[in-house]
Chains A and B, each alone.
Chain A
Amino acid sequence: MLSVHLVLFLVFGAVALAGAVNLLAQTHPINSALSLIAVMAALAGEYLLLGAEFVAAVQVIVYAGAIMVLFVFVIMLLNAGVEERTKGSRVAILFGIPGMLLGSLLVAWVLLRYSGTGEVAAGALPGAPKTIGPLLFHEFLLPFEITSILILIAIMGAVVLASKPPSSPVPPREGGF
């Protein structure tokens, strides 16, 4: 009943949930960023349990190792401080949390009601790079190329948006030389 697979799933799941709740509970963005990194690491563990080894490695390299570094950079660069409570936040907490709880209870009820979909074994679908590679380059070639162009556009956009605006030209001196 209590197999190693279930125990590992529960451990990684608990870490992911703790990180997600901590992201909401913390006031300083750097703590939220570190909790999100913990969530991503736990999810990489979950992917390994499902046999998706390449996806787990890419999750660590790309998501936790590059995207989150970007977030941490921006937090450090902008010197983000502790978040302040403004009027809007009170309204959002008043309506947002009950609404979210309602929505998630609905989803959970639907999921558990129709949960006769069976079990998933540990390492059910081994996703080695050798098997994912041909799929990525044959059947999914068009999305692959389009996402490459998307990243190129994003790079150009980010460089343009974050650069300093060109300084206004110095007005000519009054009254000649």
Chain B
Amino acid sequence: MVPLSYYLVLSGILFACGVTGFLIKRNIITIFMSIELMLNGVNLSFVAFAAHWHALAGQVFVFFVMVVAAAEAAVGLAIIIAVYRNRETLNVDRVNLLKL
């Protein structure tokens, strides 16, 4: 028997790590992966609450979060490829001018 708050704390820590990665990392792909980490943390809290309140809707919502994450990853990575083709770099600090 694990208290619900343990699951929420784990979910919160994963989310916090995701936000930290988003702020401190300079490689655009790693920033995207931090976004995926945030989404995973949120998924965990959805499933934990679904188990707590005995509502299957929580588990169904996890599907929608995964679908949105997949769509966003696809488009985001395509944008990264396009940016790399033009600027030859993956470092966000170097993509800070509108014109080269």
Cross-chain contact A80 with B59 (CB below 8 angstroms): no
Cross-chain contact A151 with B71 (CB below 8 angstroms): yes
Cross-chain contact A24 with B13 (CB below 8 angstroms): no
Contacts from A to B (Cβ < 8 Å): 3, 5-6, 9, 13, 16-17, 20-21, 23-24, 29, 32-33, 36, 39-40, 43, 46-47, 49-52, 54-55, 58-59, 62-63, 66-67, 70-71, 74-75, 77-78, 80, 83-89, 92-93, 96-97, 99-100, 103-104, 107-108, 111-112, 115, 117-122, 124-125, 127, 131-132, 135-136, 139-140, 143, 147, 150-151, 153-155, 157-162
**Minimum CB distance partner of A85 in chain B:** B26
Q: How far is the CA of A89 from the CA of B30 in the complex (A)?
A: 13
Cross-chain contact A16 with B66 (CB below 8 angstroms): no
**Minimum CB distance partner of A68 in chain B:** B36
B44-72: which have CB < 8 Å to A?
44, 47-48, 50-52, 54-57, 59-60, 62-64, 66-72
Given the interface contacts A24-B21, A83-B91, does A50 sit within 8 Å of B47 by beta carbon? yes
Interface of A, secondary structure class, is helix
Residues of B within 8 A of A54 (CB): 59
Tally the A-B contacts, defined by beta carbons under 8 Å. 249
Cross-chain contact B12 with A100 (CB below 8 angstroms): no
A-B contacts, 19 of them at CB < 8 A, read A3-B1, A20-B14, A49-B2, A52-B51, A70-B73, A71-B77, A80-B29, A84-B91, A86-B26, A92-B23, A96-B23, A108-B12, A111-B9, A117-B3, A118-B52, A120-B1, A132-B56, A136-B63, A161-B81
Of A55, A115, A139, A150, chain B has the most CB atoms within 10 Å of the CB of A55
Across the interface, B44 reaches (CB within 8 A) one of A46, A119, A132, namely: A46
Q: How far is the CA of A157 from the CA of B82 in the complex (A)?
A: 12
Cross-chain contact A6 with B1 (CB below 8 angstroms): yes
